[in-house]
Chains A and B, each alone.
Chain A
């Protein structure tokens, strides 16, 4: 009997996540075309958001401030605006992570002495970050950004960490190849 209830609960959770994903997709549709066209290029030239900005996007204090007006219209506008910005941040972060890994793979291909353990760890971190982004993207539409501040800041910290680790890796690789053999 417990097994049936467990399966049912699992199916409901899966359905809710799927529903959230569809909602999130729909609300980010307007930004998606612009994103695809130009923002991917911009991602390459700009730094990621600072933790202060991420805290601001997912801030519960702003929601509290808006709720103080007791205006359903203003509250609706706030929720719509913040959800769109939060989804945009997830997309940008996901694109930055892909770009970081792409650069790393390019550097690794040129490297003479690859460390398999190090490469596996980087790939695992990459997969974990991408999964985080996917879950955040699905849950933002369902729970609202304000309840996901902790998860968003965790993703932000991990992104910064992987970025710094790869920077160090690339500097070390350049030091190992002083004659510039690795340059294209």
Chain B
């Protein structure tokens, strides 16, 4: 029989996660991608060493899952203008070559991995569609910047 997880412990772990890890990330999209990266691709289980040490593996897993879903809902509900701004912040913080970043994101669509389990298919679709549009906006801005010079 599996042990019950106390909601209070999950809440504590969630707040710990917000304070120690997520507050250091400068944008919503960055926080979402960070949380998605704590999920195992094969099992779908979340894991975070520091959080699991301070609480327990199960409590950390639940806190990460909740945080991931909340971060996703927040990004999915952003207006296109806000998402484009957020994506620009993420691009800047990644310190990658912007041209290369935009090319890879448009071709490989790595942001799809950020979709949590059991979200509405329409919300998942809206998220992917909005990121595609935000990427097109950033590319257009870069192209017009280049042509102005």
Contact = CB atoms under 8 A, between A and B. Distances in A.
B123 A53 contact: yes
B13 to A, nearest CB: 24
B122 A53 contact: yes
Contacts of B122: 49, 53, 57, 85, 88-89, 92
Interface string B68-88: 000001001111110000000
Given A62-B80, A85-B126, A92 B120 contact: yes
Contact of A49 (B80, B118, B123, B140): B123
A74 B137 contact: yes
A89 B73 CA distance: 16
Top 10 closest pairs, chain A to chain B, by CB: A62-B80, A81-B129, A89-B122, A39-B121, A65-B81, A92-B122, A52-B77, A46-B120, A85-B126, A88-B122
B82 to A, nearest CB: 10
Interface of A: 31, 35, 39, 42-43, 45-50, 52-53, 56-57, 59, 61-62, 65-66, 69, 71, 74, 77-78, 81-82, 84-85, 88-89, 92
Interface of B: 73, 76-81, 118-123, 125-126, 129, 132-133, 136-137, 140
Given A45-B118, A53-B77, A74 B129 contact: no
Among B122, B133, B136, B140, max chain A CB count under 10 A is at B122
Contact of B140 (A50, A71, A88): A71
28 contacts: A42-B121, A48-B120, A49-B122, A50-B73, A50-B77, A52-B77, A56-B77, A56-B126, A57-B122, A61-B79, A62-B79, A62-B80, A65-B79, A65-B81, A66-B133, A66-B137, A69-B140, A71-B140, A74-B140, A77-B133, A81-B129, A81-B132, A81-B133, A82-B129, A85-B122, A85-B126, A92-B120, A92-B122
